[in-house]
Each structure stands twice: as structure tokens, then as C-alpha cells.
Structure 1
Amino acid sequence: MNSDRRSVLGAGLTLSFLGATGLSAQTPPPSAGGALPPGLPQPVETIDLWPQGAPGMPARAPVEQVAERSTDPLVTDRAVRGIAVPRLSVFRPDRPNGAAVLLIPGGGYRHVVVDKEGYEMARWLAARGFTAFVLFYRLPYDGWAAGPHVCLADAQRAMRVIRSRHADFAIDPERVAAMGFSAGGHLCADLATRFARRVYEPVDAADRLGAKPICAAPVYPVVAMQAPHAHPGSRERLLGASPSAALEAAHSPDRNVPADAPPFFLLHAEDDDVVPVENSLILRAALKEKGIPVETHLFRHGGHGFGLRKAIGKPVAAWPELWREWARGTGLS
């Protein structure tokens, strides 16, 4: 990796990740062990989502495992599975702008990506004044009682917990956005369309707060749960091998857009050979049909899973600033 690439990934990293009084780390952030790249701050502050433990624990509790997939000593590419304690890793800016972003990494509902679609984007956001919360959500194939609703339960709970802690982070509770990637883009879109769906029993005062984000940005998202555009792995791990048409419809964000959905920012590369661009197009059409504001950016090249690091040197590298300018118009910042 050259120095220019590292400078992009680490831009603006004069960040403060020390927890405020009473906000020290609970369950530690996922770690694969071993040395981490110098100069890239890691989160030291986490928030467990469920104070009495996540509901619906399977008979055999998942065992968290973190795999390091990168062979470059200067860049980590971790993936975590077996999440039994869903939680948020917090990235605080030096100068908060009052806005927050819930980041939902992808991983095909097989695992949750730590760095490429989590920490790297969180550092970028924090360097620009946003408080970023990276969500490590439970995976449906681990046997949780909520089944395919388990991921949405964690996303809804995360939005409510962030709002309940707004004073601790100097954020406006109304200015909390959601951004997700790939399968995390599906969860982001699911949250932004089914924020009012009751998928878990309230556990404390935070659950009296709303789960609707001020705006949503599904990036190269999984949307369809039906052939021919569904991502087969995400669909099977979320819904099982042979889901009914009703179950497919219930978990297809384009089929569940309410009249009061928040504004959407959609981003996809037309040469995506993993999640077809039609996923974003059908969601855009559904949003337009309901009169929901939607900004759509399609790039000819980019492939799948570009995040920040794989966008460098391509026109698609402009996407974070495009999102930032669009977000200003939603009232986020």
C-alpha cells in the first residue's frame, strides 16, 4: 500500500476516542489479536445494546470469532461472526457538529465486516464532526428466537440507545442518520422502512424513543429477496433455504415503504457482480412511487464492496462527499 492510500484512509485522524465519565468500554470491540497498523485509531468506547443481555438467546450461545482477512500489515480487514453481545463501537469527533451516523457494515449476513465498511467510514465521519456508531448486530442463522427479525431488532434498539444517550455525545437526538453497506445496506433500508414495526419487547425507557433515522444511505445494498435480483447468500442466511413468498415480501424493503419514510441516498456501481444494481433501482422506484425524496448515484465502475479503500483512483471515490452534501439538505448537518 502506498502512502497516498494510507493518507486517505487515515485522513483527519486527530480524533478523541476516550470515553466520557460513565461511558467506559463494556464488551470490548471485536479483535483478531496481533499488532494493529500504526496511526489508525481503534475505538475504546463501546455500548452494549441490551442491558440484561440480548433477548431470545439460542440454547447454544454463539461464540464470537474474528478473522483477519488482510495480508497487508498496514491495513486490517477483519470480519466477526458469532455475535452474542450486539453493541456499538463509538468514534467521537474532536469538534462535534451535533449529528450522528449509525453505520451498519455488510458481510452477507454471514459475518459483520469490521474495518472496510465500519471503522474506516467512522474515522472519515468523525474527522468531519459526526459522531459515528458502528453496529455489530446479531446474525439470523445463529438461532435467535427472533429469527430474521433479529438484525432489525438490533438496528432499532441502536437508534433508540443513541438517542437516549444524546447528552453524553453532544448530539441532537433528531439528527441521527443511518448508513449501511451491502447486507448492511439491506438492514439500513429495512430500518428506514420498518422503523415502526415492533420486533422486540421494550426493555427500558430508551424503547419509548423513535427508531426512524433522519435520513438513510444504503450503499450497494441488498434489497430484493426474490429471484432474479436477490443476493443468494444473504437471502438464505436471513430467511432460510425455502422461504415463503410472504416471508420474502416482509423482508424486501422495496415492498415495505411507508408514506413517512425518511429521505434516501442510494449508491451503486453498475458493474457490481455480487449484488446487481437492480437492487437499488427497484428500491428507488418504490420510494418514488410513495413520494419519498431519493437521491441516486450510479457509477459505471466500482464493483462490489468498494467502501472507501477500493474507490480510490476511480470516479466513485467522490461518493462520501456527495453523501455529505446531500445530507446537509436533509437537516442532518
Structure 2
Amino acid sequence: MTGLDRRSLLAAGVALSAGLATGAARGQTAPPSGTGAPAGLPDPAEVIDLWPAGAPGAPAQLPVEAVTQRSTDPAIGDRSVQGIAVPRMVVFRPAQPNGAAMLVTPGGGYRLVVVDKEGYELARWMTERGFTVFVLFYRLPGEGWANRADVPLADAQRAMRLIRHRAAEYGIDPERVGAMGFSAGGHVCADLSTRFAHQAYTPVDAADQLSARPCASAPIYPVISMDADIAHAGSRDLLLGPAPSPELEAAHSPDRNVPADAPPFFLLHAEDDGAVPVANTLRLREALKAQGLRVETHLFEVGGHGFGLRNTIGKPVEIWPELWRAWARTTPLG
């Protein structure tokens, strides 16, 4: 990616974000905000709550949402959110829509959801290229919800269906809705893209008549396998609980659940990733190939984990968003 530096990261989407900050919210719940949003980049105000009567399987005492600012640099926000009792999507509208949409699922090891680095920054980059972007704040499976292992998937399925249900409102083609996720959010993305037909929740309204299948999928440095040999231990423990059965591990390993009608995949990983072994991406690639499905794979020697956009500068992996965009043109995203 040429010219990507701190200034361009901060400038991307300033006008769009300023407009959203004064726009009407679409849900009753504000987006996660906290303190320390970078100057000139107000938080978007347009929100869609996923569940009209509250999220299913709620614990007796709901988790309490808390936002933490992890950055010490006032020019760069790095917020994370925990205790998501009201799962919701924050909407980024482009100035010039291309008719396609993306559901973005940030990472956080199923312990938290990253707000800026793998959410808002990517959304601003995508809206500059015409995509309408929905950043998903999904429930965290270790916070007391029933059927914990399916909780993030249920939120992702519901989100995809709501995007399609409101496609006319947002000026998007319901057949051109893709998904991208990072780290544990990459697991959400991959799980959605392989188990879109699994009934993760009881339907609640007309939106649930629609498909949850993304038209294209991009799990980035993703958690994939629940095999203890290569799994990200923290994500595995929070998703599946202590001592999961082999059957539970298999059910929540996307590489072991690839259907013949899965969407095309774009896979990206750095081989020096010290948190999520690159074997996760390679296993998913092998499973997709075994089904004869389209898959583009990019492995970088250097990049580590959790680089998003901001931590790629000066490295070959800096080019990854443009590689994704070139690939996306060969899919229904156009």
C-alpha cells in the first residue's frame, strides 16, 4: 500500500466520520466509545442493535460494558470493549457507495473486542473505496451466556441477515455482502462462512428468513482450529470452556466444517505470528482446496500478530489491503 502512514490512517474517512457523528442512530444503544478517540475522528453514531427483545441465552446478571483505552498516544486510538450485553453493529457509510457491504469482526481473543485497530480503521479504509461497512460488537462467550460456543456465531449470522434485510435502506445489493475478521474475529468470520446454515439461534423475525452466507470471506491471521496442538489457547478456553470434548472441538473448527457451497476465501497470515500459529490458516486452506473452492492465500515472512493497518508500515505486509481489494474485484463484491 503506497503512502500509508500515520497521517493517512487518521485522515481516511474524516469527513465521513464527522457526518456520522451527527447522524441519527439506528439503534437504541450507543456504539462503544469510552475516551480517547483520535482528534478529528469522532465515533460513528449510526447503530443497529441485533436483537429486538434482547440477546438470547442471557445470564441472570448481564455483563457490564466497559471500554478501555490502551494507547498512550493521543493521535492513535486503541480501545477495546468487554461486557457486551447488547450486541450491535456500528455503520460506516461511504460518500460514494459501490453497492457492496462488508461485515467486519474485530479480534480480541474472545476476551474483548478491539474497537479501533481492527474495526474503525478498516471501516474508514473500506468506505473510502465505496463499501458500506458494519463493524460488529459480538458477545463474548466467557461472560455467562447460554450455549457459549455458538454465541459469537449467532450474533454474526443475525448481523448478516439484518444487513440483507435493510439492503434497500443502505443502497446495497443483498447478494454483495462479504465478511472480514481478525484473529478471534477471524474465527467468527470463518465460522460464519462455513456454518452459515447452522441454526445457532431461534428465528425472531422476518430478517431470519434470509441467508447468513457471506458472498466472500476474508479471515485475517485467524484463529481456526480448536485442536489444542495449534489452537490459540485463550480463545479456545473462552469459546469452548474447560476440557471440551473432541466433538465440541470439531464442531467449532471451521477447517473441519467446510461445505461445498462455502464462499470464496481470502486468507492472510504472517509466518512469524507468535500468538496464532500460521498452521491455522494452512489447515483452512487445505480444507477449502479439498472441496474445490476458490481460495487466495498470502503468507508473509514478517508481520507478527494483530497488525491491522497501523502496524504494517515499512514491511512487505503493508500491501495486504490492496491485495484483498484486487481479489475482491473477482468476487461478487466487485
Q: TM-score, structure 1 length as denominator?
A: 0.96
Match of 2:56 in 1: 55
1:133 is matched with: 134
Aligned residue number for residue 255 of structure 2? 254
Listed as ranges, the matches of 1:1-333 within 5 Å are 4-15=5-16, 17-18=19-20, 24-33=26-35, 35-333=36-334
Give the Å deviation of 1:112.
0.4
> C-alpha distance in 1, partners of 2:27/2:7?
27
Q: Percent identity?
A: 68
Amino acid of the residue matched to residue 116 of structure 1? K
Letter in 2 for 1:32: G
Rounded Cα–Cα distance in structure 1 between residues aligned with 2:23 and 2:183: 35
User: Which string of whole-angstrom CA distances, capped at 9 and with x for unpartnered residues, describes residues 281-314 of structure 1?
Assistant: 0000000000110000000000000000001111
How large is the RMSD of aligned CA atoms in angstroms?
1.6
2:180, 2:220 within 8 Å by CA — same for their partners in 1? yes
Contact 1:101 1:131 in 2 (8 A): yes
Mapped to 1, the partners of 2:41 and 2:267 lie a distance apart of: 28
Counterpart residue type for residue 27 of structure 1: T
Which residues of structure 1 form unaligned runs of 5+? none
Please give the alpha-carbon distance, in whole angstroms, between the structure 1 residues aligned to 2:132 and 2:262.
23
Q: Deviations over 1:58-116 (max 9, x none)?
A: 01111101111000011111110110000000000011100000000000000000000
Give the secondary-structure state (helix, strand or coil) at the position aligned to 2:330. helix
Distance in 2, matches of 1:94 and 1:211, equals 26
Pick closer, same or farther for the CA change 1:137–1:12 going to 2, 3 Å. Answer: closer
Question: What is the Cα deviation at residue 197 of structure 1?
Answer: 0.2
1:254 is paired with a residue whose SS is helix
Distance 1:9 1:25 in 2: 26
Runs of 4+ in structure 1 off by over 3 angstroms are 16-25
How far did 1:250 drift?
A: 0.3
Looking at structure 2, the residues matched to 220 and 29 of structure 1 have their Cα atoms a distance apart, in angstroms, of: 25
Shift of 1:22: 7.2
Whether the aligned pair in 2 keeps the contact of 1:80 and 1:112 (CA below 8 Å) is yes
Are residues 73 and 18 of structure 1, via their aligned partners in 2, closer, same or farther at CA, if it must alter by over 3 Å?
A: closer
3-state DSSP class of the match of 2:97?
coil
**How many angstroms apart in 2 are the aligned matches of 1:18 and 1:225?**
39
Structure 1 pair 18/225, CA: closer, same or farther in 2 (3 Å)? same
Q: Normalized against structure 2, the TM-score is what?
A: 0.96
Residue 27 of structure 1 contacts residue 48 of structure 1 at CA under 8 Å; is this kept in 2?
Answer: yes
Instruction: Kindly provide the amino acid, as one letter, of the partner of residue 176 in structure 2.
Output: R
Tell me which amino acid in the other structure corresponds to 2:71.
S
> By how many angstroms is 1:241 displaced?
1.6
Q: Deviations over 1:247-304 (max 9, x none)?
A: 0000000000000000000000000000011100000000000011000000000000
Equivalent pairs counted in the alignment come to: 330
